[in-house]
Each structure stands twice: as C-alpha cells, then as structure tokens.
Chains A and B, each alone.
Chain A
C-alpha cells in the first residue's frame, strides 16, 4: 500500500470514529445545530429589522446571511482544536501514536469529520435562512461554489486549530483561545456591516481580512449583493474568490506541516 492511500485509509477510520461520537452525543448535535438557527433568527429579526430597508430586492437580512455563514463555519472549525486536546488528555493520541498508522491520519481524520460537521451546520443554516426570506439569486453551480469556498476556508482554519489543540492540550484553553482569535477576526470584517462604513484603520483591516473576502465571495456567488451597494475599492474584495483561495492554500501550506510536526512530538502531559 502506498503511503498516500495508507494515510487516507487511516484518516477515514479516524473520521468515522469522530462521526460516531457526534452521532452518539445528541446533546452536542442539538446544540451545534441550534446555535446556527439561533444566530440566523437573532440577526435576521433583531438587526435585520433595525437596519433593514429594501434595496432593490436585497435587504439587510439577505446581506447578513453570508456573514453569519462565514462566522459560523469558522467557529465550527475551532472544534478541531478542542477535539484533539480532549483526545490528547484522555491518552487516545498516545494510543494512536503507538500504532503503525500514518502519522497524519489522526489530523486528516479529525479535520475531515469537522468539515462534515460543518456541512450539516451549513445545511441547517441555509434552511433556516430560506425560512426567514433569504434567497439564492444565482445559478445552482455558483451557489455550490459559494458553499464549497466556505467549507474550504473553514477546513484550512481547522488545521490552524489542530496545531493549537496539540500545542495547548486543554479543551478549555483552546476554547477561550478560539474566542479571542475568532471574534475580532469575524467582526472586523464585512460580515455584519459593509466595510465602507468602518472608520479608517479598521476599514483597512476589514478590507484585507480573508473573512471579508470569504463573505464577499459568498454574497456574490449567492447573488446577495444589492445593486445600490458601493463597489468595493480594495483589491481583495474586488477579487474575493481568488483572494480567499490564496489564503486557504497559504494557511494549509503553513499549518498542515506544523500540526503534523506537533502531532509527532506531542507528549500527553
């Protein structure tokens, strides 16, 4: 068996194990689907009605949805870190490391199962979105590309948190760390307000923040950009798909090796 198929096979075994865990902990499953539903409803009715006025069919509510999608899948990606920290604490990583399995399989399996979890989350959010009036105004393929881009970027972020989870093997610390990183990252962006409304330096950060380009790309691919919205002036937001792809690849190129290296030397205490 070649190293690659070996790694993929082992990764599939580990991913299956993680999915069984999700399936068998209904409380986790309920909260991880309730949370996106709550987000959509809160934003749609609290903010959406406060700020929302109809602009050529695309209202603020519709503008928001892509932002909420982006924020939620990125938060979903942080689960990778907590999951690995938990396995580490319970000695399960040690058991895996003593087996003649591929050195990257635990990470491949974990990031894969977390992407699948995100697929579920996105599905639930989309259905909720449709209920509150969100519409896809483009073609099926464009919309699909939007979903795939969201998942790809979240997948890349998963690897960052895989590294963090192995570096700081405490579920609680990883969770607080993800809040501290992810909140500013998803708020100093065009997720909930147009970047043009942000003051000077914040606006620059938002324009170059890959969360903004991800959101912008999703908005465009879903057809949720109102005609009367100002054209973005920064290059990343003028080329949001490309810019997001570049970031995703860069993150993967840096953090896949870092996480695998950390896995190899992780000591369980």
Chain B
C-alpha cells in the first residue's frame, strides 16, 4: 500500500495571488482525504493540478504512480474527476452524457452503453435517464456528474465540493453515494467547505488556507483541537448564572465558560442531542429560566478560529 496521490511543494500564482503556496499532500491507496478550506483557499487549484488541467509553477505531483507533469495522458487513464460545477451537457439525456464519456474513455460501444445504464441505476436516475438534462434538479445534475467520473471505474477519484449548493436532502443522498463508493476501495480526494462533510467521509483531513496546509489529521484529532460539540445556554436572569454553571458542570467534559454580559454559558459536551435534553432537564429542575439553548457542532469557522486565531472571510462578512 503506497500513496496513490502525492504532491510536493506545489506553487501556483495568478499575478499577485498565490493560489498554492508550497502545498504537500498524500493520499494513501484506498483512503479518503478531505481537503477542507474556505472559498479561495486553493482547493480547486490543487484538484486542477492533480487532474492534469493546470500546470503548477513549481513542485511535482504523482497520481497512481505516474508523474502528472511528465505523463499527463497516462494519469488521465487512471482518474475520474467531478469538478466544482457539474460539467454535464444540458442538451443531452443522462444516458447520452454517460455513454459519450464511456466512448471517450475508449470503452467501446457496447461497454459504454452497459456502463451508462448501470450508473443511471446506481444513481437513481433511471427514470430521468432518457430526458435531456434541462429539466434536472441541481442534485440530479451533481449525481450525474459524479456518475460521469465513475464511468471507467478509475482507481483514483477527485471530487471538488460535491455537495456545495445542494439542499440538505440531496446532500445526504450524495453522502450515501460517496460512502458506498469508498467502501469499494477507491482512493478519493474530496474538497469541501464543511467540517461535518469531511468528518463523515474522510479518513484524513488537511485544512488549507491561502494555498498552504495549516493542519492535518483525522477528524477526531482536529475536533479535539477545536473542542468538539458544546451546549450553549442563555439564561433569563443574570442572577442565575452561577447556579447554571454548576448545573452544567455536572455534564460538561471540560470547563464551562460564562459570558455575564450576554448571560450565555458554553459547556463542552459529548453525546449529542441526549446531553442537550439532559441539560435542559437539570436546569428546569433547578428552577432556572432558559431564554435560548443550542447544541453546537464545530464548523469550519471554529476550526479556523482555533487554528489561525481568525475567522474565515465569509464568516467575517
């Protein structure tokens, strides 16, 4: 088992903008790497370099053991790509889109058709498969685009923000599809802006910002750095703050932080919704009035704050 994707010191500049600033990456065979970063971090640029669409200014990369710069044609035979924006053809039907890609992978006429039918079935697009894409929803387009990346069953797969812009239902459908895929042993590099998504799908996460890796590790390791879940409570009366703190301390996994000004208490917890219910019960039993309560999971913004001491530009805006 070796690395199926390996990048060393990638640099890419666009005028004054440094899109990639000496990035190193490795994805072990059969694993999923989540590349997590805010808009403009350089995620798409890395994917474009690794999929032979863009030449870096400096650095080197290997995919499936082949040098991306020296033999891009050989790399293309080993990869599947689903880009950030679904690159599907509006005027073709779902079937025609997949069939065309099969032909261009040189699978031959019969095999291409077979494969197109298989994939439509697998991605729940059979009914829509013979209609032109114009009437497809965003989620359907995205699924078809992903199916396009799988036509030739490539050993290495790149998915650039596969769920950005999807509604929650399509997103969770997409997650199911990706998880099933990974179970089949595909090596996957996935980019995302959502910690939750990286957590769910990736074995290893690299956080990037301004074209540099600023943290790397498993989702758990990252979350422990960031502080996992927490319960946030805003009490009715400032006088109750002290008592509320001691109640919450009983179920917190760490120190409870009190902000007297906003009457907000933040307690790190583990155990999800049940803990929230538990906390509310205990507060109620103690006769403490609660104005607002929430269970917060860490987001990219929290990771960012913890790692860089600043918020993402979007969160600031």
What is A's interface to B at a CB cutoff of 8 Å? 1, 6, 9-10, 13-14, 16-17, 20-21, 24-25, 90-92, 94-101, 105, 265, 267-268
A98 near B52 (CB under 8 angstroms)? yes
Q: Report the minimal beta-carbon distance from B57 to chain A, rounded to whole angstroms.
A: 13
A13 near B77 (CB under 8 angstroms)? no
What would be 29 A-B contacts, judged by CB atoms less than 8 Å apart?
A: A10-B104, A13-B100, A16-B100, A17-B89, A17-B92, A17-B96, A21-B91, A21-B92, A24-B132, A90-B90, A91-B85, A92-B89, A94-B48, A94-B53, A94-B81, A95-B83, A95-B87, A95-B101, A96-B104, A98-B76, A98-B79, A98-B81, A99-B101, A99-B105, A100-B77, A100-B106, A265-B55, A267-B48, A267-B54
Q: Report the minimal beta-carbon distance from B93 to chain A, rounded to whole angstroms.
A: 9
Distance between Cα atoms of A96 and B83 in the complex (Å): 12
Q: Do most interface residues of chain A lie in helix, strand or loop, or is the interface mixed?
A: helix
- Asked whether A97 and B52 contact (CB < 8 A) given A6-B106, A13-B103, A92-B87, the answer is yes
Residues in A neighbouring B52, C-beta threshold 8 A: 97-98
* B31 within 8 Å of A (CB atoms): no
Closest A residue to B97 using CB positions? A17
* B73 within 8 Å of A (CB atoms): yes
A98 near B104 (CB under 8 angstroms)? no
User: How many residues of B are in contact with the other chain, CB < 8 A?
Assistant: 29
* B148 within 8 Å of A (CB atoms): yes
Q: Report the minimal beta-carbon distance from B98 to chain A, rounded to whole angstroms.
A: 12
- Asked whether A20 and B92 contact (CB < 8 A) given A1-B106, A13-B100, A99-B101, the answer is yes
* B163 within 8 Å of A (CB atoms): no
Most chain B beta-carbon neighbours within 10 Å: one of A16, A25, A95, A105 = A95
* B266 within 8 Å of A (CB atoms): no
B92 near A95 (CB under 8 angstroms)? no
* B60 within 8 Å of A (CB atoms): no
* B51 within 8 Å of A (CB atoms): yes
B73 near A100 (CB under 8 angstroms)? yes
Residues in A neighbouring B87, C-beta threshold 8 A: 90-92, 94-95
Distance between Cα atoms of A94 and B54 in the complex (Å): 10
Distance between Cα atoms of A142 and B51 in the complex (Å): 51
Closest A residue to B82 using CB positions? A95
Closest A residue to B101 using CB positions? A99
Q: Report the minimal beta-carbon distance from B204 to chain A, rounded to whole angstroms.
A: 24
Residues in B neighbouring A21, C-beta threshold 8 A: 89, 91-92
Q: A16-B100, A24-B91 are in contact. List 10 more A-B contacts (CB 8 A).
A: A9-B103, A13-B100, A13-B104, A91-B86, A91-B87, A92-B89, A98-B53, A100-B77, A101-B105, A267-B53
Which residues of chain B from 132 to 175 have a CB within 8 Å of any chain A CB?
Answer: 132, 148
Residues in B neighbouring A13, C-beta threshold 8 A: 100, 103-104
Q: Which 3 pairs across A and B sit closest by C-beta, in order of nearness? A: A91-B87, A95-B87, A21-B91
Residues in A neighbouring B91, C-beta threshold 8 A: 20-21, 24-25
A95 near B85 (CB under 8 angstroms)? no
Residues in A neighbouring B100, C-beta threshold 8 A: 13, 16-17
Closest B residue to A106 using CB positions? B104
Q: Report the minimal beta-carbon distance from B144 to chain A, rounded to whole angstroms.
A: 12
Residues in A neighbouring B54, C-beta threshold 8 A: 267
Closest A residue to B134 using CB positions? A24
A98 near B51 (CB under 8 angstroms)? yes
Closest A residue to B132 using CB positions? A24
Encoded as 1 (CB less than 8 Å from any A CB) or 0, chain B from 45 to 86 comes to 000100111110000000000000000010011010101111
Residues in B neighbouring A9, C-beta threshold 8 A: 103, 106
Distance between Cα atoms of A78 and B106 in the complex (Å): 30
A99 near B132 (CB under 8 angstroms)? no
Residues in B neighbouring A25, C-beta threshold 8 A: 91
- Asked whether A100 and B76 contact (CB < 8 A) given A1-B106, A24-B132, the answer is yes
Q: Report the minimal beta-carbon distance from A266 to chain B, rounded to whole angstroms.
A: 9
Q: Report the minimal beta-carbon distance from A105 to chain B, rounded to whole angstroms.
A: 8
Distance between Cα atoms of A99 and B90 in the complex (Å): 19
Q: Report the minimal beta-carbon distance from B24 to chain A, rounded to whole angstroms.
A: 23
Encoded as 1 (CB less than 8 Å from any A CB) or 0, chain B from 16 to 49 comes to 0000000000000000000000000000000010
Residues in A neighbouring B77, C-beta threshold 8 A: 100
Closest B residue to A268 using CB positions? B53
Most chain A beta-carbon neighbours within 10 Å: one of B79, B87, B101, B132 = B87
Closest B residue to A25 using CB positions? B91
Closest B residue to A103 using CB positions? B73
Distance between Cα atoms of A121 and B100 in the complex (Å): 27
Residues in B neighbouring A99, C-beta threshold 8 A: 76, 101, 104-105
Residues in A neighbouring B92, C-beta threshold 8 A: 17, 20-21
Residues in B neighbouring A90, C-beta threshold 8 A: 85, 87, 90
Closest A residue to B104 using CB positions? A101
Distance between Cα atoms of A101 and B73 in the complex (Å): 9
Q: Report the minimal beta-carbon distance from B41 to chain A, rounded to whole angstroms.
A: 16
Residues in B neighbouring A24, C-beta threshold 8 A: 91, 132
Distance between Cα atoms of A145 and B55 in the complex (Å): 46
Closest A residue to B44 using CB positions? A269
Residues in B neighbouring A98, C-beta threshold 8 A: 51-53, 76, 79, 81
Distance between Cα atoms of A91 and B85 in the complex (Å): 7
Closest B residue to A97 using CB positions? B53
Closest A residue to B96 using CB positions? A20
